[in-house]
Chains A and B, each alone.
Chain A
Amino acid sequence: DTGVSQDPRHKITKRGQNVTFRCDPISEHNRLYWYRQTLGQGPEFLTYFQNEAQLEKSRLLSDRFSAERPKGSFSTLEIQRTEQGDSAMYLCASSSVTGAAGGYNEQFFGPGTRLTVL
């Protein structure tokens, strides 16, 4: 399978604990995105990497959240001191940078990591 993969698929944690999620993009894609999806809502943009550089961060990404992409391949999203409001599906997507018709490079999404904070 050469799609976007995420690990773990499910995570249950207690409030106050730290959690880390991993995303492996499609191998030739150098753009990587994180989104958060709460129940009954559409995904919301969190942050974006081009290679190892984090180029944009949403205001949703509080200082308890940190994302890295150290070698421009896989990425991690860490949440420190989790709160019940962090319970959501965390989605990762990747895209290429090569030219595409209409200037849009499709984002391919992984299956997500569902976080439950008790």
Chain B
Amino acid sequence: AQSVTQLDSHVSVSEGTPVLLRCNYSSSYSPSLFWYVQHPNKGLQLLLKYTSAATLVKGINGFEAEFKKSETSFHLTKPSAHMSDAAEYFCVVGKTSGGYNKLIFGAGTRLAVHP
């Protein structure tokens, strides 16, 4: 069975400081892993994806994540937070089969960015 655990339900940072959102996964085989962001009243947007290529994955808006198999982790980071980064972030594991992904979402981490 596949699952993801987001270790923090809320994270608060000051503008300009680093962001770290933590995610651990469980999968019986090599997983596909994603981070999605959800802004209020907007659809979920893909930030980045890991599909067994490079372990350090770069996404949009300066975000990146590192796949660490030994730690079963896929933490999301950004060097410097912007006010516009305030949103809900979801770590997601997916089973890929012929391009179809059944996505399994974590419970989410709400990121607050303070001036």
Contact = CB atoms under 8 A, between A and B. Distances in A.
Contacts of B52: 102
Contact of B101 (A43, A50, A91, A105): A105
A63 to B, nearest CB: 21
A108 B16 CA distance: 30
Interface residues of A, number: 34
Interface in A50-102: 50, 56, 91, 93, 95-102
Given A3-B43, A112-B43, A102 B49 contact: yes
Given A42-B105, A42-B107, A105 B99 contact: yes
A110 B100 contact: no
Contacts, number: 77
A92 to B, nearest CB: 9
Interface in A4-52: 4, 31, 33, 35, 40-45, 48, 50
Contacts of A3: 43
Contacts of A103: 51, 96, 98-99
**Interface size grouping (class) on chain B:** 20 to 34
Nearest to B106: A42
A28 to B, nearest CB: 14
Given A42-B90, A111-B41, A48 B99 contact: no
B46 A106 contact: yes
Given A31-B99, A103-B51, A103-B98, 4 more contacts: A97-B98, A101-B53, A104-B96, A111-B43
